[in-house]
Structure 1
C-alpha cells in the first residue's frame, strides 16, 4: 500500500508523547553475563544517569500461526537504561535489543543521530552480525482541552475511518453511541506498506487525572520483522528514514483539517 504524501510540518502544539526506535538481534550472552561498562563509558557524556530493570520474557514455541506461549518457561533479562540529565532521552540496552526513547520529540534531525550513535556503539563493542526486527513507533495523544477544542466532537477532528460508527455525531439522531457515553474504545489494524508493516492502534482513552474528559490516542508502529538481515548501519539508517517519512503521512491522514490547523503547523524542509 502506498501512502499519500503531505508537506512536512512541525506542530507547535505537538501531540507526540513518545517516540521509540528499536533494533532487535540474536541474544548476546556477553550483555547478560557482564556489566556493559564500556557501553556506559562511551555514552556517559550525553547519558550520565543509569537505571537497571529486570524483565521477564515470554518464550514462544513453534512458528507461524500455530506458535504458542510457554508460560511455564519464563526467562529473566536485564535492561540497562542510560538516561540524559533532562530525562527526555533514554537509550536502553539488553541482550536482545537496543532502543532509543524520546518523550519530548521535536524533529527527526535530532532523533536519528542519537539512534545511530547507539547503534554504532553497540556494533563496535559486541559481536552482533544480524538484526531480526527493526521498528520505529510514534505515539500521539490528542487532548482537545489543550488546543482550544473542548466542545468539538471527534468526528469533526479525526478521519472517518478511525471512528467508524462507534461515536455518534451529537447533531444526528441515530443508533450510534453518544460520544459522552464512550468510556474507552481501542482498535488495532495492521497494514502492509511498500517498504514495511504498519501496526496502527488507536482509540479513545480516559484518565483519572482528566476527570470526565477524554483524549484520542494514535499509536503508529512501523517495522520490519521475522528476518535475519546483516547489521549494516547504512541500511538500518535508510530503513529508519523511510519509517519516519511514513509516520508523518499516517498521522496527517488520520486527522482532519480543523485539527491540523489547531495544532499550529509550521513548515519545515524535507
Structure 2
C-alpha cells in the first residue's frame, strides 16, 4: 500500500531534513526590476535579514522546425532572499514564485503560521491573478544510527513499494551501489506527487568538509496542485497537500521505524 489511513502522528525523532513551500504565479515584471521595499516593510519583523542574487534563466529556443533555430539567452532573474534573525526560516521572492523553506521543521501548524503573513502581504502588494502551481516538498533523511536501528535492514523500516530489490534474499543490502525508486502518482483530480526513495550517502559540498560515511534512507516527497488556484484558496490548497503528505509518509514507514521515531 502506498497510502495509509492512520491518524496523523507527531514524532519526537522525526526525520524531516528540509521543508519547502512554493507558490508559482504568472510573471510580475515589477518584482524583477524594482526593489521590494513595501514587501520588506511588511515582513521585516519576522524576516529582518535581506540579500539578493541574480539567477541565470534557462535559454529560450526559437524557430524549432525551421531552417535557422536560435538559442536566445534570457535576462537573469532577481531572487530576493529574506531570512529570520536566527537563519532558520528563508523566504524567496522572484517574478515567478514566492517560497518559504526551513531546515528545522517545527510541525505543520507552525510552518503554516510562518507563511501566513508573508503570503497575505505578497497578495496585498502585488495582486497576483492566481497561482499556477502550489507545491509542498518534504525531504526526509532517516539515520539508523540516530534511531538505534543499526541492526535493522531498510526492508524492515520501509514499505515494499520503496525497497523492492532490497528484499531479495540472495543479495545482501550492502551489495547494492544504487537502489532507488522514483514515482509520480496522482493524488486526486488536481494534485500529484513525485517521490524519490532509496538509500544513499549525503554529500557535504563545503570545501574541506568531512564526509559522513553512514548510508541513510532518503524519502523525498514533492507534492503539488496545478491549475489556476485562486489566491483566496491557496491556504486550503496547502492544507490538502499536507493531508496527502501524511497519508504517503505513514504508508511508507513500518511499525518498527514508527516506534523508533517515538510518536507523541
Q: TM-score per shorter chain, which class?
A: 0.7 to 0.9
Q: Distance in 2 between matches of 1:119 and 1:196?
A: 21
The match for 2:177 among 178, 183, 186 is 183
Q: Which has the higher strand share?
A: 1
Q: Distance in 2 between matches of 1:250 and 1:159?
A: 11
Question: Are 2:225 and 2:241, in contact at CA under 8 Å, matched by a contact in 1?
Answer: no
Does 2:204 match 1:200? no
Q: Distance in 2 between matches of 1:205 and 1:187?
A: 12
Displacement, 1:112?
Answer: 0.8
Flag the 1:104–1:231 CA change in 2: closer, same or farther, 3 A: same
Question: Are 2:3 and 2:252, in contact at CA under 8 Å, matched by a contact in 1?
Answer: no
Question: Are 1:10 and 1:106, in contact at CA under 8 Å, matched by a contact in 2?
Answer: no
- The answer for the alignment partner of 2:217 in structure 1 is 216
Structure-to-structure mapping, 1:1-270, within 5 angstroms = 3-58=3-58, 72-165=72-165, 167-168=166-167, 172=169, 174=170, 176=171, 178-194=172-188, 195-207=190-202, 209-211=211-213, 213-225=214-226, 227-232=227-232, 235-266=233-264
Residue deviations 1:37-60, cap 9 Å, x none?
Answer: 111111111111113222123256
Question: Are 1:21 and 1:136, in contact at CA under 8 Å, matched by a contact in 2?
Answer: yes
Question: Are 1:183 and 1:204, in contact at CA under 8 Å, matched by a contact in 2?
Answer: no
Matched position secondary structure for 1:110 = helix
Question: Are 2:2 and 2:252, in contact at CA under 8 Å, matched by a contact in 1?
Answer: no
Q: Distance in 1 between matches of 2:142 and 2:222?
A: 17
Matched position secondary structure for 1:131 = coil
Matched position secondary structure for 2:124 = helix
Q: Distance in 1 between matches of 2:74 and 2:30?
A: 20
Displacement, 1:3?
Answer: 3.8
TM-score (norm 2): 0.87
- The answer for the alignment partner of 2:206 in structure 1 is none
Q: In angstroms, what is the RMSD of aligned CA positions?
A: 2.1
TM-score (norm 1): 0.86
Structure 1: 5+ residue runs without aligned partners? 63-69
Question: Are 1:57 and 1:76, in contact at CA under 8 Å, matched by a contact in 2?
Answer: yes
Matched position secondary structure for 2:80 = strand
Question: Are 2:54 and 2:76, in contact at CA under 8 Å, matched by a contact in 1?
Answer: yes
Residue deviations 1:33-84, cap 9 Å, x none?
Answer: 100111111111111111322212325669xxxxxxx865344101111101
Q: Distance in 2 between matches of 1:20 and 1:251?
A: 16
Q: Distance in 1 between matches of 2:176 and 2:50?
A: 41
Greater CA deviation, 122-131 or 91-100? 122-131
Question: Are 2:61 and 2:72, in contact at CA under 8 Å, matched by a contact in 1?
Answer: no
Matched position secondary structure for 2:249 = helix
Q: Distance in 2 between matches of 1:40 and 1:71?
A: 36
Q: Distance in 2 between matches of 1:248 and 1:130?
A: 26
